[in-house]
A and B are shown apart, each in its own frame.
Chain A
């Protein structure tokens, strides 16, 4: 096709490299990269730095590929929601079929390359994670149950497990503690978002807890999950992934997080609307810091232990 046959609208909407990159959900990828890196470095096996770098890269590409497949599947509801209508497919920059092709190609590439660079078990876990996020969460749970975020959160929790397996070639219970941290953190994180992105999920017909059980119940759920998360996060401090630094971080962060959840639970909609959901927005921002602080502390403990420091020993 020559340039002349292009209409002005087509020219305006032709995708740049950045639009294709945006299909990979770079912000979600940053979480995947960081947690996978902590899983890999916390493992009790030294990994060649170049292989470690490649492992993290392929895990990130696999995470990005599942993001592209999610955008392909959800393009109909992404068009409706304010938060997502600027994404490459609803904005007309990238075709759905292109997103599907990129997602499938990068999934296969990431799984094969991770298996070759590290071990087959790590590649298999990455394949399962992509399957879980795309098929179990996006295609099945997201539009059928208010527990979508609770169960689907497992997909985002697998990267530290994959990082650990990439380093060791075997399974242990420590990475499952990191898995549990992300798994329990995901519901309060997304429910806070659902509270202040109010009409988005209603309009799109996604059965978020706010839609099916009401906003009051969602506030109580946030508090309950935050309390369980606090027990888990502080309990993990007494295990081999913890230590004095982790414990100090966990106590401070969980106190702040719990305080935020109590504030959310005690508010009603009138109070929230009066300050434009300031408490809910603050809780959401704190949740990002919460996860990075915990995994950062686990990383510091792991690195110190290589010099005979860190941990409780």
Chain B
């Protein structure tokens, strides 16, 4: 059997690895994008406002 640098098997594995890498990269982009949209659209404002009075009360006591 002659020595071959690459085999169809290696191509398929490489394709799988590249596919998984792209999926993971896409997931990072999605989580980052969602974070930016949620923060800039004020989704967390209500949570921040409800947290602040509690902190002030805690300080008064």
**Chain A residues proximal to chain B, CB less than 8 Å:** 3, 6, 11, 14-18, 20-21, 48, 50-51, 54, 57, 113, 116-117
Contact = CB atoms under 8 A, between A and B. Distances in A.
Given A16-B15, A17-B18, 15 more contacts: A3-B9, A6-B9, A11-B9, A14-B9, A14-B13, A17-B16, A17-B19, A20-B16, A48-B37, A50-B33, A51-B34, A54-B30, A57-B30, A116-B34, A117-B34
Contacts, number: 37
Contact of A51 (B8, B16, B19, B37): B37
Interface in B10-25: 12-13, 15-16, 18-20
Interface string B22-45: 000000001001100100010000
A109 B51 CA distance: 29
B28 to A, nearest CB: 13
Given A17-B15, A17-B16, A17-B19, A11 B7 contact: yes
Contacts of A15: 12, 16
Contact of A50 (B8, B19, B20, B34): B34
Nearest to A58: B30
Contacts of A117: 34
Contact of B16 (A11, A16, A54): A16
A116 B38 CA distance: 10
Nearest to B12: A16
Contacts of A57: 30
Chain A contact residues: helix, strand, loop or mixed: helix
A14 B12 contact: yes
A17 B23 CA distance: 11
Nearest to B40: A48
A20 B22 CA distance: 14
B30 A11 contact: no
Contacts of A11: 7-9
**Nearest 7 interchain pairs by C-beta:** A17-B19, A16-B12, A17-B16, A11-B9, A50-B37, A17-B15, A50-B33
Contacts of B16: 15-17, 20
Contacts of B15: 16-18
26 contacts: A3-B7, A3-B9, A11-B7, A11-B8, A11-B9, A14-B9, A15-B12, A16-B12, A16-B15, A17-B15, A17-B16, A17-B18, A18-B15, A20-B16, A20-B19, A21-B19, A48-B37, A48-B41, A50-B33, A50-B34, A50-B37, A51-B37, A54-B33, A57-B30, A113-B30, A116-B34
Chain B CB within 10 A, most for which of A17, A18, A117: A17
Contacts of A50: 33-34, 37
Nearest to A49: B37
Contacts of B19: 17, 20-21
A233 B7 CA distance: 55
A57 B52 CA distance: 35
A64 B30 CA distance: 18
Nearest to B16: A17
A57 B29 CA distance: 13
Contacts of B8: 11
A57 B26 CA distance: 11
B9 A54 contact: no
B11 to A, nearest CB: 9
Contacts of A54: 30, 33-34
